Amino acid sequence: MTERYAIILAAGKGTRMKSKLYKVLHPVCGKPMVEHIINRVEETAPAEIITIVGHGADKVKEQLGDRTKYALQAEQLGTGHAVLQAENFLKGKPGTTLVISGDTPLLTSETLQNLFDYHQGKNASATILTAKAEDPTGYGRIIRDHVGIVEKIVEQKDATLEEARIQEINTGTYCFDNELLFDALSKLDTDNAQGEYYLTDIIEILKSEGKNVAAYLTEDFDESLGVNDRVALAKANEIMRQRINHQHMVNGVSFIDPAATYIDDGVVIGAETVIEPGVYLKGNTVIGSDCVITTNSQIVDSTIEDGVVIKTSVVEESIVRSGADVGPYAHLRPKAEIGVNAHIGNFVEVKKATIGEGTKVGHLTYVGDATLGKDINVGCGVVFVNYDGKNKHHTTVGDHSFVGSNANLIGPVDIAANTIIAAGSTINKDVPEGAMGIARARQENKEDFAKRFPFFQE
């Protein structure tokens, strides 16, 4: 098979985004646009990937790391000039080179593979990925002769009225014979409305030399979407979200309202799980089978095992084991681990803590920097006091214990198994197994005291 190469164009500033964030780093369904591109490109197995960087080069390199080589386009002199920056890496090498823009996140690996195959099947010097647009405004037009052979690409600003009516557009993605590509790049000029070196002019150069130029028409126009402003960014998110949700439904996941469910690219969800509206699943999240995630829950970089119910809660960088339930209105902060069949109830916050199997933390409680064993009952309003103003301290509660309502456990403290903490106690000493820890003032009732207050007087 002919050797394959890829050039990702990621040097443009993206002024229309009106953003401090470099354009190709704007996220679409949880990943920067340029990361979507490199993921798809890698699936076509190129021997080398060269990313052309300019504005925000360091940030792009930080994002993509060593998955690609880099070439700097110091001056923004057009797409042809950008591709030319890869000359030191690729010039003179036989093979096929894919040129793709870093702001077209909706392109699929299937389409790129089809483009490679079509190009090689046609023995073409260049193959343009095209699409049919109902409104082609802003896109370069594909000019064909009377028998359908590609003659050239005309940019919007250079198009005649007749050319502007053509609906077949250039997506900005190409395959080239690598050796012919760099030979033609040396022949580009800036005789156009923008005064730039257009990559599209290579088509005319190759045609003038009698070379075969082909065009592969993709069936899905959405794939051609280039993100140049916030409107297009929102559209790209919408389209990709539809794709993601559709695939999850095909895999056996139920959505009450797919249009109101937001799932990042790469999230894994098991079959028979039900997702209600307003749910947002982010980052490296894995949801098991037979789960229920109710309205307005947000789960970030977390693992939710089988049979879990998350009710209108926030889960961040945590693990919820099989059969557990969380919420409503609970908050699992980073490094929370909720055990098998455990219960985390209303307005409970858990941070850097392990909750054992079958343990119940019902409501209005904070558990931080703690290890709780199995089959513990934690009453309402309990606070694990873990912070002394300078350092965090750990608390341990043993199996089968009972922590009464409104107790404060001041770490570091060790509550042994089979103990009771009396309601309203503030505990700052270890409690041995089988004991009851109680730390509160003794109640005293003053007879007839209430009669002294006007409220109780006739």
DSSP string computed for 170-184: EEEEEEEEHHHHHHH
In Å, what is the CA distance from 199 to each residue of 217, 322, 352? 19, 55, 54
Does the annotation list 366 as a binding residue? yes
Q: With beta carbons less than 8 A apart as the criterion, state whether 313 and 333 touch.
A: no
User: What are 384's two structure tokens?
Assistant: 């694990």
Q: Among 200, 202, 173, 155, which residue's Cα sits nearest to residue 103?
A: 173
Does the annotation list 144 as a binding residue? no
Q: Which residues pair with 368 in a beta bridge?
A: 351
Does the annotation list 140 as a binding residue? yes
Does the annotation list 23 as a binding residue? yes
Does the annotation list 54 as a binding residue? no
Does the annotation list 12 as a binding residue? yes
Cα 119 to its chain centre, rounded Å, is 32
Does the annotation list 387 as a binding residue? yes
Does the annotation list 273 as a binding residue? no
Distance in angstroms (rounded) separating the CA atoms of residues 127 and 74? 28
Strands (E), 236-300: 254-255, 262-263, 268-269, 274-275, 280-282, 286-287, 292-293, 298-300
Does the annotation list 441 as a binding residue? no
**To 10 degrees, the CA torsion angle through 196, 197, 199, 200?**
60
Does the annotation list 131 as a binding residue? no
* Alpha helices, DSSP H, located in 229-371: 230-250
Distance in angstroms (rounded) separating the CA atoms of residues 252 and 140? 41
Does the annotation list 88 as a binding residue? no
Does the annotation list 155 as a binding residue? yes
Q: Among 126, 117, 119, 182, which residue's Cα sits nearest to residue 150?
A: 126
Which sequence positions are flagged as catalytic?
363
Measured in degrees and rounded to the nearest 5, phi and psi for residue 324 equal -75, 160
User: What are 309's two structure tokens?
Assistant: 């119910």
Does the annotation list 333 as a binding residue? yes
Does the annotation list 406 as a binding residue? no
- Could you count the other beta carbons within 10 Å of the beta carbon of residue 293? 28
CA angle, 216 then 221 then 226, to 5°? 100
Distance in angstroms (rounded) separating the CA atoms of residues 423 and 399? 18
Distance in angstroms (rounded) separating the CA atoms of residues 73 and 162? 35
Does the annotation list 230 as a binding residue? no
Does the annotation list 318 as a binding residue? no
DSSP string computed for 334-372: TT-EE-TT-EEEET-EEEEEEE-TT-EEEES-EEEEEEE
Does the annotation list 118 as a binding residue? no
Three-class secondary structure of residue 217 per DSSP: strand
Three-class secondary structure of residue 42 per DSSP: helix
Does the annotation list 424 as a binding residue? no
Does the annotation list 228 as a binding residue? yes
- Residue numbers in the known binding site are 9-12, 23, 73, 78-79, 101-103, 140, 155, 170, 228, 333, 351, 366, 377, 386-387, 405, 423, 440
- Residue numbers in the known binding site for UDP-N-acetyl-alpha-D-glucosamine are 9-12, 23, 73, 78-79, 101-103, 140, 155, 170, 228, 333, 351, 366, 377
- Residue numbers in the known binding site for Mg(2+) are 103, 228
- Residue numbers in the known binding site for acetyl-CoA are 386-387, 405, 423, 440
